């Protein structure tokens, strides 16, 4: 199905008062906890259709989003392409590229949950197709709007740390028993394992902060009995500007390390604990709910800034954590569709991160550093 004529998609062309109509493919963890609530919370977007063949999830969609309809498969959604303004792909990783390609060939802008693709080459091919069709293509990298990440970006912009020497970043969990499912599958086609799951976020954040990478070293292990894919992984990046990023992603961490430890020539910043937005969304809360501002942390969770002191013993000065802002992603998507502007995250940025992830996988397999120069 090839729809190069977009004249019937009047909402995307800026019809006053008409929200942009979104089709969402997938209603698992990503679709139900992240995409659907954030789309529904965006003033200029409306969740039109959710694709899921699971009857229980279909009922869940109708209960949680009464104005939406459901479809059994993506073909049913694409058959109504002229009624939609955006497609969001939140289905298993192996389907990201074919569904994104089909959406673009139907003349529809598309958001794709991370990872956009298995390889940088596939991501670049999608980017070429989107450019040729004049359509938006954006990977969903919500962790750029984590509260702690926004705070760290502010500190770096102010030069508070001096010249950054080392960036340590962790997504660690204690899940001693595999849960199964495609995310932990050993089938290479599924893109399971933590390197492509949590690593997609960690690498994207490191590249966003410190730019291109010249060298990658990685260690990837399967620690838990019955594990089929990496569940305890470390990646070391050497950036072109000399900063070293050390990234940990693990499901086997009995004692959690700091979310961030950033060491500069003048000071260091240490932050424990995860951004509160994911937990809030999983609990059924939505932006605007409750008496507290969305994405805010209590003072007890603030990071600390200092030199020569341990934050664990109260050393350093507390740094107020800026509010997290996942809703900003879809607000930016809506603006880009209305104005034909640049998306908040681009496919070429995803390709750069995938190039690093591919190098990390090679490094772990071969036990050597891999050059990206």
CATH dotted code for 20-141+329-342: 3.40.50.720
Average pLDDT over residues 333-359: 97
Average pLDDT over residues 76-95: 98
Q: What is the CATH number of domain 147-274+288-325+356-371?
A: 3.30.360.10
Q: Mean of the pLDDT values across residues 36-62?
A: 97
Sequence-ordered list of residues with C-beta below 8 angstroms from that of 251, at least 6 positions apart, any chain: 173, 174, 175, 194, 224, 231, 232
Residue 95 pLDDT exceeds 90: yes
Q: Tell me the domain boundaries of the chain.
A: 20-141+329-342, 147-274+288-325+356-371
Q: How far is Cα 291 from Cα 174, in angstroms, rounded to an integer?
A: 31
Strand order in the sheet with 110-113: 69-71, 45-51, 20-25, 86-89, 110-113, 137-140
Lowest mean pLDDT among 109-113, 194-198, 311-315, 360-364: 311-315
Q: What mean pLDDT comes out for the span 281-310?
A: 90
pLDDT at 282: 95
Cβ neighbours of residue 283 closer than 8 Å, sequence gap 6 or more:
none
User: Per-residue pLDDT averaged across 164-183, rounded?
Assistant: 96
- Domain 20-141+329-342 and domain 147-274+288-325+356-371, same fold? Reply is no
C-alpha 345: how far from its chain's center? 10
Q: List pLDDT tens digits, range 209-231.
A: 999 999 999 999 999 999 999 99
pLDDT at 347: 98
Q: Give mean pLDDT, residues 186-200.
A: 96
- Taking 80 as the threshold, does the pLDDT of residue 315 lie above it? yes
The number of CA neighbours under 13 Å toward the Cβ of 249 is: 23
C-alpha R_g of the chain: 21
Reading the block at residue 168, the tokens are 């340590």
């Amino acid at each position: 199905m090839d729809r190069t004529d977009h004249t019937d998609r009047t909402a995307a062309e800026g019809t006053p008062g008409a929200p942009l109509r979104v089709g969402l493919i997938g209603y698992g963890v990503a679709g139900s906890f992240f995409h659907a609530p954030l789309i529904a919370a965006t003033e200029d977007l409306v969740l039109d259709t959710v694709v899921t063949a699971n009857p229980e999830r279909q009922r869940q969609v109708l209960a949680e989003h009464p104005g939406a309809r459901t479809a059994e498969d993506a073909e049913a959604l694409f058959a109504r392409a002229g009624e939609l303004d955006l497609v969001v792909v939140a289905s298993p990783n192996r389907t990201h590229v074919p569904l994104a390609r089909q959406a673009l060939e139907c003349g529809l802008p598309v958001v794709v949950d991370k990872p956009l693709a298995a390889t940088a080459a596939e991501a670049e091919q999608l980017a070429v197709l989107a450019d040729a069709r004049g359509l938006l293509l954006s990977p969903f990298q919500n962790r750029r709007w984590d509260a702690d990440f926004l705070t760290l970006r502010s500190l770096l912009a102010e030069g508070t740390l001096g010249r950054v020497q080392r960036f340590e970043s962790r997504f660690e969990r204690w899940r001693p028993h595999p849960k199964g499912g495609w995310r932990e599958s050993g089938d290479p086609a599924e893109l399971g394992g933590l390197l492509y799951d949590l690593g997609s976020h960690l690498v994207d954040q490191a590249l966003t902060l410190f730019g291109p990478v010249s060298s990658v070293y990685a260690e990837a292990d399967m620690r838990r009995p019955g594990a089929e894919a990496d569940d305890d992984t470390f990646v070391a990046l050497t950036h072109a500007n000399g900063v070293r990023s050390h990234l940990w992603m693990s499901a086997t961490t009995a004692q959690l390390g700091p979310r961030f430890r950033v060491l500069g020539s003048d000071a260091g910043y240490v932050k424990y604990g995860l951004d509160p937005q994911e937990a809030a969304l999983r609990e059924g809360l939505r932006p605007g709910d409750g008496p507290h501002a969305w994405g805010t942390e209590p003072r007890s969770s603030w990071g600390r800034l200092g030199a020569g002191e341990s934050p664990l013993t109260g050393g350093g000065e507390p740094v107020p954590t800026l509010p997290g802002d996942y809703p900003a992603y879809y607000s930016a998507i809506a603006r880009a569709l209305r104005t034909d502007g640049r998306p908040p995250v681009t496919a070429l940025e995803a390709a750069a991160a995938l190039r690093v992830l591919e190098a990390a996988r090679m490094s772990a397999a071969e036990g050597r550093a891999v050059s990206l120069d």
